[in-house]
Structure 1
Amino acid sequence: MDAPDLVSLLAGQRLAVLTGAGLSTDSGIPDYRGPDSPPSNPMTIRQFTSDPEYRQRYWARNHIGWRHMAATLPNAGHRALAALERAGVVHGVITQNVDLLHTKAGSRNVVDLHGTYARVVCLSCGTGMSRADLADRLEALNPGFIERAERVGGIAVAPDADAMVSDTSAFRFVDCPNCGGMLKPDIVYFGESVPKARVAEAYSLVDAADALLVAGSSLTVFSGLRFVRHAVAAGKPVAIVNRGVTRGDPLATVKVDGGCSELLALLADELAEVARR
């Protein structure tokens, strides 16, 4: 199907939107599974919590990656969804991304399903801090690390704010300044469950909408697919915009194979016009 089918299905509907890594590729953040994605084996929660060497590697790479992600700007797809929210068409966004680009674009009702790169939490006492505050501590322990890594070149940032850095063996990381416990990015790792309250908030967005729009997600993991199944079970139409096949295609009312930026920009123009009539 093509863009007119998408507009026809969603015109006059109040939308919940589910987004994935494919929406942020035009902002320079590669997805995990696309043809231009760097080789990446996302760290599991078990690896992170059980092995200090994994934590050392992660924090060294994240020390580079989070800065690149923080400097990333929203693209036309993010801006289109923010415009549709202002027009009263989009009720809210559920995102599997941790890049905060929806918030940067101006979307107000956003459920960051997998957390964000910008916060760190202690697994023992729950103390939280900003990633910027942690960066100052890590930089003091590892002076010059960023400059040395960037001189080597070839840095590529993954969707979880990880980065490809060749030598992490000398990197020093820190524990919680409050209790000495293990610090972890406030990101849901592979093998880790999304907090129940966050899932409930996302379901509420779908329940309050007339239709669900999926943009840039392969729906490979259940974390996102469950909202498609929930919408279908409630009799709500589902539209999917994504490059390539998704796990939700058999459930979709309309599936458009294409890039998110151009299609969402077109959709925003058309649906906002319908809303003004």
Structure 2
Amino acid sequence: MARNFVPAFKTCTEKDIELLQIFIDKSKKLAVITGAGISTESGLPDYRSKDVGLYSRNGYRPMNYSEFLGNHSSRQRYWARSFLGWNYIHNCQPNISHLTLTDWQRFGKLNTIITQNVDRLHHKAGSESVIELHGNLYNVKCIDCNHRISRILFQTILTEMNSDLLNDDKSLRAKLLQENNENNNNRTIRPDGDIDIIDDFVYSFRYPSCQRCYGLLKPDIVFFGDNVDQYLVEKIYKKLNNECDSLLVLGSSLKVFSIFRFILQQIQLKKPLAIVNIGPTRADTFLQNDQNNNDIILKIDSKISDVITKIQI
């Protein structure tokens, strides 16, 4: 069973459900933004939640784009850890919140899902019209020529290149297995797909260059310090402006500007906005400053699945 990374949360009230139901009923073309909080019930931790988020547990920071580009040892560390974390990510399954959003789409209530997540759980749940703002872990691309290959194929290539590490060095393999067992297999898994492992494995790990141009390969995700595809940004702006009449945020603290920009647009356009998230968000200042604007901005501090599964569509 996947470990539950849901932080401590308040129980949603009947009033919370009533207000969100009204919000949903009024919407004819709903857009939803999802963050790491929607995947915690699938066994993937978020970054910022108190006690269970990666930042609060061990001060971990994700791979920085400039570090990945400029340092072979950083790329070696990333791919070694990602190699061992991949099966866990690949085997993660959507939870009731992902499935509920799929149902909302099928019933015609939900127009677009915009996700910060790279886990592809919305796709596994059967959702369509999903915009992956930060990319996904299921593709690997060349930084130089933009050639892409599937991560499943790339995993096979990594396995072949490191067969001696995985098969011949039985003592190293045993040590890896022992450490994983001690960490309950997923204790140190991260939303970006890597996992803590011993240094011996990292320093011996091999990874390929692009088979077309010999350029650098990276996961098809936006690393910290990297830029979001401007085409996607404009596409989301247009969808929220022209195709959607309200916006529901699920499981995001909205700390990074790549997603917070869309909240600012929603507020500027005075379109209805609702947020379901455990703990504070970057948009909370607007709630505090707009006490008379409750029909525009709604905030529910509770677990996503406890809230949205009670909504009637």
Q: TM-score, normalised by structure 2?
A: 0.83
Identity of aligned residues (%): 39
Letter of the 2:16 counterpart? D
The structure 1 residue matched to 2:228, chosen from 188, 194, 204, is: 194
* Structure 2 residue 20 is the aligned partner of structure 1 residue 6: yes
The structure 1 residue matched to 2:65, chosen from 33, 45, 48, is: 45
Deviation, 1:145, is: 3.7
Contact persistence 1:64–1:163 (CA under 8 A): yes
| CA root-mean-square deviation | 1.5
Letter of the 1:3 counterpart? I
Give the structure 1 partner of residue 31 of structure 2: 16
Deviation, 1:163, is: 1.3
Contact persistence 1:22–1:217 (CA under 8 A): yes
Letter of the 1:159 counterpart? P
Deviation, 1:3, is: 2.1
Partners in 1 of 2:20 and 2:264 — Cα distance? 19
Q: Which has the larger radius of gyration?
A: 2
Letter of the 1:138 counterpart? L
Partners in 2 of 1:192 and 1:264 — Cα distance? 33
The structure 2 residue matched to 1:214, chosen from 242, 249, 253, is: 249
The structure 2 residue matched to 1:166, chosen from 198, 201, 209, is: 198
The structure 2 residue matched to 1:183, chosen from 208, 217, 240, is: 217
Deviation, 1:150, is: 3.3
> SS of the residue aligned with 1:266?
coil
Deviation, 1:234, is: 1.3
Partners in 1 of 2:261 and 2:20 — Cα distance? 21
Letter of the 2:189 counterpart? V
Give the structure 1 partner of residue 9 of structure 2: none
Partners in 2 of 1:233 and 1:10 — Cα distance? 20
Deviation, 1:37, is: 2.8
Partners in 1 of 2:21 and 2:239 — Cα distance? 21
Q: TM-score, normalised by structure 1?
A: 0.93
The structure 1 residue matched to 2:88, chosen from 68, 72, 78, is: 68
Deviation, 1:179, is: 1.1
Contact persistence 1:81–1:90 (CA under 8 A): yes
The structure 1 residue matched to 2:122, chosen from 93, 102, 116, is: 102
Q: What aligned pairs does 1:197-276 form with structure 2 within 5 A after superposition?
A: 197-207=231-241, 208-251=243-286, 253-267=297-311, 270=312, 272=313
Deviation, 1:198, is: 1.1
Partners in 2 of 1:205 and 1:101 — Cα distance? 22
> SS of the residue aligned with 2:31?
strand
Deviation, 1:108, is: 0.4
* Distance change (3 Å), C-alpha of 1:260 and 1:164: same
Post-superposition CA distance 1:169-228 (Å, at most 9, x none): 211111111111100000001111110111122222212111100000000000111111
Deviates more, 1:237-246 or 1:163-172: 163-172
Letter of the 2:229 counterpart? P
Letter of the 1:211 counterpart? S
Deviation, 1:119, is: 0.3
* Distance change (3 Å), C-alpha of 1:47 and 1:12: same
Contact persistence 1:76–1:262 (CA under 8 A): no
Deviates more, 1:12-21 or 1:146-155: 146-155
Partners in 2 of 1:77 and 1:150 — Cα distance? 32
Contact persistence 1:117–1:185 (CA under 8 A): yes
* Distance change (3 Å), C-alpha of 1:260 and 1:145: farther
Instruction: Could you tell me which runs of 5 or more consecutive residues in structure 2 were left unpaired when the two chains were aligned.
Output: 1-14, 168-172, 288-296
